[in-house]
Amino acid sequence: MKLKYIIAVIALVSCTGFAQELLTNVTWNIGIPVSKTNQYVTDVTYRGFTIAGRKFIDNENSVGFMTGWNVFDEKSTEPINVDYGNGSGTISGTQVRSINAFPLLVGIHHHYGNKKDMRAFIGLNAGMYYILQRLDIGVYRFDNDNWHFGLAPEAGLLIPVGEENTIFYIGARYNYAFDSGTALGGAENNFYSYWELNFGFAFSSRWF
């Protein structure tokens, strides 16, 4: 199943190789966990990056691929409540909670504005997320890793720097990895969601 998705991603990216214009970008990410993800790790993370490439199929539209890594983690002393059968319990102790998210997405983007000026874009990415959720408590470690299908709509700005094809990239992306596998602790729905703010540089094979 996983192999099927990987082959689909590679095939889609390969097809775009015939397009002439290539925009590659590397960004540093600020990650903001939301919804259920925020209940596990609340801290904003400054440790993340994205590497992406887009091939333009005309002046305004592109298809592309992106991957990256975001690490959410924090130290917590919040007690953990557990329910089982006819009983319940509380576990307390210092915890280090972390979530590592690795997206592997393909996307389509639409760009607005003149090629040589600042351009805005909107896009939708879809693909797989490998997510490792970890709980360290006491001397014990609990890991839960799953592949999730996910969507990542995004918007941003491409701001040319200087007179060549170097572009300052600023964007915001919402990541939603759908329910997959069993959640750490046995909660019913194992989905993850987080926002990213992306800052970096894009390099184009041509002027926009």
Partner 1 sequence: MRKIKQIKLLLILILFSVVTLLLTSCYPDYGLTTSDYDIVATFKEDANDFQAYKTDGANFYMPDSIKRILDNNGLVSGSTGQYDAQILAEIERQMIAYGYTRVNNTQDADVFVTVGATSSENIVYYPGYWYGWYGWYYPWYGYGGYAYSYTTGSLFVTMIDKSKIDEVNKITGAVWAGAANGVLDDTQANILTRVINSIDKMFEQSPYLKIIE
Q: Does 197 bind partner 1 (CB under 8 A)?
A: no
CA angle, corner 142, sides to 137 and 145, nearest 5?
140
By DSSP bridging, strand 48-56 and strand 140-161 are unpaired
> Binding string to partner 1 for residues 85 to 104, with x set by CB under 8 A, is what?
-xxxxxxxxx-x-x------
Nearer to partner 1, 37 or 180 (CB): 37
CB 45 within 8 A of CB 98: no
CB 73 within 8 A of CB 44: no
Report the 10 Å Cβ neighbour count for 156.
22
CB 160 within 8 A of CB 118: yes
> Binding string to partner 1 for residues 1 to 40, with x set by CB under 8 A, is what?
-------------------------xxx------------
By CB under 8 A, the residues from 56 to 75 that bind partner 1 are 69, 71, 73, 75
In angstroms, give the least distance from the CB of 158 to partner 1. 14
Q: For residues 159-177, b (16+ Cβ closer than 10 Å) or e, as one string?
A: ebeeeeeebebebebebbb
Nearer to partner 1, 31 or 127 (CB): 31
Q: Does 159 bind partner 1 (CB under 8 A)?
A: no
Tokens of 140: 């014990």
Nearer to partner 1, 3 or 139 (CB): 139
One residue of 52, 135, 200, 208 binding partner 1 per CB under 8 A: 200
Cα gap 88→164, rounded to integer Å: 64
> Where does this chain touch partner 1 (CB under 8 A) — which range of 56-64, 110-118, 178-186, 195-203?
195-203
Footprint of partner 1 (CB under 8 A): 26-28, 46-49, 69, 71, 73, 75, 79, 82, 86-94, 96, 98, 137-140, 161-164, 166, 200-201, 203
